[in-house]
Amino acid sequence: MPLVGSRNLSDLFRAAPLVSVASEDRWQLPGAQILQLMYEIDDAQMTALIPPALHPTIPPTLVFTVTRAPESPAGPFVLAEVKVGARSGARPRGFLARGYCDSAEAMKALGNRWGYPLLQAQVTLDKRYDRIRATVKAGGATVLELTLLNPEPISGNDLQYLANLNLARVTRDGSALDRLVQVDPDYVFRSADRGKPQLDAFDAAAWQLAGAKPIHAVSASYAVADITMPVLRYLVDPVKPPLQAVERL
């Protein structure tokens, strides 16, 4: 039998953003800079990190993504995410239990429109000729520090980003339901690089991923792209079996 998650998300849903699925917003984020690293993690906790509606990937992975948007309807912002690699049915997805954003206005808008479960923090993304580095500092502590070393140009067609499953509450028929919100932005790439991944700091508990232990680097990429944030199309009921969990809006 395929493995499924065992995580109870009830405590996290109490603080999750409330999303209106009736929104037709399509934000444009021109010239966004995206640093992404993937790491394989120890498999001891791979089912404990995700809910029963999802399958773990084999091998289990974490995807670290930091995005700087110089322009948005909520102003400039930098967003940091650590997602658990998973499958919703047969589809690869990234489960996000918590992220961080440096802008209070953007944090609120991303939560209300697309269900991003965010806290405010100091998030930076710096590009130099020989490295691209990102840091997240929350409550005076560094909860994430990652670097792409020795960037080499590649085609944007070589990159593929997972659609998110964001932990949120969703208003439907007058009720607030606990759901995972699928968010699959569109990307038009201006440039892309790959390089050597380096994870210098990661506080798993600060990302609601206690027990996640990165053990092997898989990949690192950096891109500049025009991002279109989507209209919501799918939800996932976290407690149902994978083949019964997906809801179409």
- For residue 94, which of 240, 207, 200 has the smallest C-alpha distance? 207
Mean pLDDT value of segment 11-24: 88
What is the tens place of the pLDDT at every residue in 98-146? 999 999 999 999 999 999 999 999 999 999 999 999 999 999 999 999 9
The answer, yes or no, to whether residue 25 has pLDDT greater than 80, is: no
CA gap 167, 110 in Å, rounded = 12
pLDDT confidence of residue 249:
84
Residue 245, SS3 per DSSP: helix
- Predicted confidence at residue 198, as pLDDT, reads 98
Give me the percent of the chain exceeding a pLDDT of 70.
99
pTM (2 d.p.): 0.96
pLDDT value at residue 129: 93
In the block, tokens 């989507």 appear at 230
Q: How confident is the model at residue 154 (pLDDT cuts 50, 70, 90)?
A: very high
Which numeric CATH code is attached to 10-242? 2.40.400.10
Confidence band, pLDDT 50/70/90 cuts, at residue 173: confident
CB 54 within 8 A of CB 83: no
How much is the pLDDT for 193? 98
The beta strands (E) that lie in 42-112 are given as: 55-56, 61-69, 77-88, 91-96, 99-101
Strands (E), the chain: 18-20, 28-41, 55-56, 61-69, 77-88, 91-96, 99-101, 118-120, 122-127, 131-138, 141-154, 163-172, 175-183, 186-202, 214-228, 234-236, 246-248
CA nearest to 162, candidates 209, 60, 92: 92
Residue 119, pLDDT score? 98
Report H helices in the chain.
10-13, 104-114, 242-245
- Average pLDDT value for residue range 163-187: 93
SS3 160: coil
For 57-96, how does the pLDDT look when each residue is reduced to its tens digit (9 = 90+)?
999 999 999 999 999 999 999 999 999 999 998 899 999 9
Query: Which residues does residue 107 pair with via DSSP β-bridges, in sequence order?
Result: none
CA gap 238, 232 in Å, rounded:
17
pLDDT of residue 240: 96
The average pLDDT across 7-17 equals 95
**What is the domain partition of the chain in residue ranges?**
10-242
